[in-house]
Amino acid sequence: MQYAHITGWGMAVPESVLTNDDLSKMVETNDAWIRERTGIRERRIARENEFSSTLAVDASLKALEVANLNPNDIDLIICSTSTPEYIFPATACLIQDQLGATRAGAFDLSAACTGFIYALNMAAQAIRSGSIKSALVIGTETLSRFVNWKDRSTCILFGDGAGAFVLQASDNPGGVLSAVMHSDGSGGDLLSLQGGGSRYPATEETVHDGKHFIRMNGHEVFRFATRVMAHATHEVLETADLLLEDIRWIIPHQANIRIIEAAARKLKLPMERFVINLERYGNTSTASIPIAMVEAVEKGQLKPGDKIVMVGFGAGLTWGALAAEWTGPLPPSRKVYPRQYQAAARLRSIWLRIVRFVEGIFWGRYE
């Protein structure tokens, strides 16, 4: 039997910080209201030359270094995102090319803020089945590109960032223990971004109607979130045959401190058992759980052997939870060069384009 261990982790956030005070100059809001109602103080905003793939590549390189792997050791890349760079090709393929992960299959997964839990579970299942040995699982978002900066009910909430985990097969028990995934499409209208898809392809009218912005019914999403967080946590513990007392840390989706407080009350757990960093990044959707985890590891909060639960909810509606035993870094077995691979990957990508062009001249015509 193979187990899927989390052996690498990394995060990347843009340098540019947007504080609540900055926002109060853009819309009618203020720092006190935002902090009291959401817990958020500031968020990161991608610069013009930062994209979902570039943040993901930064986070992935760090994760590969921790896991002691080169990009071409990876069998599968799953990129969870609600802000892909294009409808297609998949952002995962852009990441594959930028990293030089020459052996990896790559695809995007769309399950909004629950996406990282879905993606980790999919990768762990592929490892457990024996079909792959290693996977790179990424949550990345540039939500600032889809926020209506005139809508104070949404623009205060979201931020940009990426987190990445490496999963590796091992005979040793541990790693991802179990997961639950849920959806309820009847609530799809509560949180959506409708423009640019096949129902509303971009036209003057869709732009005029603001269909390319995030729309949300905050109250309903809040009610839904507080209902499902505790339930999904109990459910995943049951499937993993664990008790709440066995769990060292809960890593919740970082949407609103009041939602986390409500979950803590329902679970009868003190807030100290939750990893929270939303005050500095806001809601980075699918990236929020890995970013919170990476910070917890770097602070020394997570120790090898700790059992943890990640729990999230989001558009779709989707929700889910994943229980894992934290493995910690494996002892380095060899020297790896992920960053050098990345530099070579640029040349490789240019070379492949040239080859394709030349092949097209000689063999590309169908007569």
Near ligand COA by CB under 6 A: residue from 102, 110, 153, 277? 153
Q: By three-state DSSP, how is residue 105 classified?
A: strand
Judge contact between 67 and 168, C-beta under 8 A. Answer: yes
Near ligand COA by CB under 6 A: residue from 2, 7, 20, 29? 29
> Nearer to ligand COA by C-beta: 55 or 157?
157
End-to-end CA distance of the chain: 53
Near ligand COA by CB under 6 A: residue from 47, 219, 299, 303? 219
Q: Using CB atoms within 10 Å of the CB of residue 120, give its burial: 0 to 12 exposed, 13 to 18 middle, 19+ buried.
A: buried
Rounded Cα distance between 360 and 351, Å, is: 14
CB atoms near residue 103 (< 10 Å):
12
Give, as ranges, the residues between 97 and 126 that touch ligand COA (CB under 6 A).
113
Nearest approach, Cβ of residue 357 and ligand COA (Å): 43
Q: Using CB atoms within 10 Å of the CB of residue 223, give its burial: 0 to 12 exposed, 13 to 18 middle, 19+ buried.
A: middle
CB atoms near residue 199 (< 10 Å):
9
- Compute the half-sphere exposure of residue 283: CA atoms within 13 Å on the CB side of its CA: 26
User: Which segment (53-61, 94-102, 131-139, 151-159) binds ligand COA by CB under 6 A?
Assistant: 151-159
Give, as ranges, the residues between 314 and 343 that touch ligand COA (CB under 6 A).
314
If one asks whether residue 146 binds ligand COA (CB under 6 A), the answer comes out as no
If one asks whether residue 81 binds ligand COA (CB under 6 A), the answer comes out as no
Position closest to ligand COA via CB: 218
If one asks whether residue 223 binds ligand COA (CB under 6 A), the answer comes out as no
Rounded Cα distance between 299 and 314, Å, is: 27
If one asks whether residue 206 binds ligand COA (CB under 6 A), the answer comes out as no
Which residues are known to be catalytic? 113, 253, 283
If one asks whether residue 287 binds ligand COA (CB under 6 A), the answer comes out as no
Near ligand COA by CB under 6 A: residue from 37, 182, 231, 266? 37
> Nearer to ligand COA by C-beta: 157 or 308?
157
If one asks whether residue 218 binds ligand COA (CB under 6 A), the answer comes out as yes
Angle at 153 between CA 150 and CA 158, to 5 degrees: 85
The residue type at 42: E
Interacting residues with ligand COA (CB under 6 A): 29, 33, 37-38, 113, 152-153, 156-157, 191, 216, 218-219, 221-222, 225, 255-256, 283, 314
